[in-house]
Amino acid sequence: MKSGMVGVLGAMVAAVLAGCTNVATFDYASATGTMAVFQEKGKGSRTIAVLPFLDQRGTKYFDPMQAGQAAAHPAGDHGSFYLGFLPLIPAGFVEKEEPENSVDFVSLGRFHFDVRNDLAQAAFLSLQASNLFAAVSRANRAEQAETDYLWRGKVTNTYYSGSLYSYGITYFLSPVLWLLGAPSGTSENELWIKFELVDRATGEVVWNYDYRGRDYVTHWIYARIGRDVSLYPQLMKQAMNGALWELSRKLPTLDR
**pLDDT tens for each residue of 185-238:** 999 999 999 999 999 999 999 999 999 999 999 999 999 999 999 999 999 999
Helix (H) or strand (E) holding 91: strand 91-96
Q: In this model, does residue 247 exceed pLDDT 90? A: yes
How many CB atoms are closer than 10 A to CB 235? 22
Q: Angle of helix 115-130 relative to helix 231-254, nearest 10 degrees?
A: 50
The CB-side HSE value for 123 (13 A sphere, CA atoms) comes to: 29
Distance CA 212, CA 235 (A): 9
pLDDT at position 14: 52
Comparison of pLDDT for 39 and 61, the residue scoring more? 39
The pTM assigned to this predicted structure is 0.89
Q: In this model, does residue 123 exceed pLDDT 50? A: yes
Give strand ranges (E) for 100-220. Answer: 110-112, 135-138, 149-157, 160-165, 185-199, 205-219
pLDDT at position 16: 47
Confidence of residue 134 (pLDDT cuts 50, 70, 90): very high
Q: In this model, does residue 184 exceed pLDDT 80? A: yes
Q: Which of 247, 161, 166 is nearest to 208 (CA)?
A: 247
Distance CA 106, CA 230 (A): 12
pLDDT at position 42: 84
Q: In this model, does residue 126 exceed pLDDT 80? A: yes
